[in-house]
Amino acid sequence: MSEPTLDILGIGNAIVDVLARAEDRFLEAKGLNKGAMALIGPEAAEALYAAMGPGVESSGGSAGNTCAVAAGLGARVGFLGKVADDALGQVFAHDIRAVGVHFPTAPLKGGAPTARCLILVTPDAQRTMNTFLGACVEFSAADVPEAEVARAKVVYMEGYLFDPPAAQAAFYEASRLAHQHARQVALSLSDAFCVERHRHAFRKFVREECDILFANESELLSLYETDDFDYAAEQVRAEVGLAALTRSEKGSLIVAGETTLQVAAVPTKVVDTTGAGDAYAAGFLAAFTRGLDLAECGRWGSVAAAEVISHVGARPQADLKALVARK
């Protein structure tokens, strides 16, 4: 087996975010569930876009954000995800390549446009997300090249990828290839509502395929249908070799066999919490694939998350390498 030439291969929905301010009464009038991520079709996306205020566009996607942060920490990173052959697809491809991420997936031609997430920020700084998956629904097992999986130490997949149907097959294909090449499979649960939509599929994948699990408290509780965090953590310990469970300002809990580690959060002024989990996973995996111990993996996760929540937008703006070097 050859030496891995990538540390992390991320797989996820390739999405461009459109951020706009909105009042609470706008969410109410449109029947939007504040703070949640909802999937919407092309007509609903067009209608909501026409009704909402002026926007700011930037590359997003959960695993895409993780890849950008991990690359900023010096990890060698690849990303698989489906954009369309249009201007927003070029924006996504440019932005992820500009931070040094290898992005080999061919754009979709002549089909749906590049996915976008219409994000409404209310005066209380909460984000309500409305995702039109567009070209992402065409991402399938055929978009998971064996060579790309074989060359990465860890394949990292976002739970949101359970939403487009063909991507579930891609998940299993990526996992099969990874294990065949003695690589590890990491999963982020992404969102409590997403877990609820696909709980059975998540449970099966976590139990049978997942080597490293990332989840926040509400996602974990949803996965095991409990309101007891300690119980859920013990379930995870029994089912997954390594799990990092994030708890906002309470930091994170790392569970690995008989080991349990409490990791502190890095204090910061919170401006926008979007991407905190994506950044934590990035920091954790960048340290992990570099062979650092679990305490250091958790610390890198906390540092990366703190940077991302200190400004608007889920991609890093500071020199992350310098931030983790400072102890």
Nearer to a copy of itself, 62 or 246 (CB): 62
User: How far apart (Å, rounded) are the C-alpha atoms in residues 133 and 118?
Assistant: 11
- Provide Rg for the chain, Cα atoms: 18
DSSP state of 102: B
Q: Identify the CA nearest to 10 among candidates 313, 310, 285, 314.
A: 285
User: How far apart (Å, rounded) are the C-alpha atoms in residues 299 and 283?
Assistant: 8
Nearer to a copy of itself, 58 or 268 (CB): 58
Nearer to a copy of itself, 4 or 60 (CB): 60
* DSSP-based helix, strand, coil % in the chain, nearest 5: 45, 20, 35
Q: Which of 30, 38, 39, 55 binds a copy of itself (CB under 8 A)?
A: 55
Q: Among the candidate windows 186-194, 214-222, 281-289, 312-320, which touches a copy of itself by CB under 8 A? A: 312-320
Q: Does 125 bind a copy of itself (CB under 8 A)?
A: no
Q: Does 50 bind a copy of itself (CB under 8 A)?
A: yes
Q: Does 49 bind a copy of itself (CB under 8 A)?
A: yes
User: How far apart (Å, rounded) are the C-alpha atoms in residues 85 and 98?
Assistant: 18
Q: Among the candidate windows 7-15, 51-59, 244-252, 292-300, which touches a copy of itself by CB under 8 A? A: 51-59
Q: Does 47 bind a copy of itself (CB under 8 A)?
A: no
User: How far apart (Å, rounded) are the C-alpha atoms in residues 161 and 10?
Assistant: 11
Q: Does 61 bind a copy of itself (CB under 8 A)?
A: no
Nearer to a copy of itself, 92 or 171 (CB): 92
Nearer to a copy of itself, 94 or 250 (CB): 94
Task: State the burial class of residue 257 (Cβ atoms within 10 Å of its Cβ: 0-12, 13-18, 19+).
Answer: exposed
118 neighbors 128 (Cβ within 8 angstroms): no
Q: Does 31 bind a copy of itself (CB under 8 A)?
A: no
Please give the residue ranges that form the binding site for a copy of itself (CB under 8 A).
20-21, 49-50, 52-59, 68, 86-88, 91, 94-96, 98-99, 113-114, 313, 315, 317
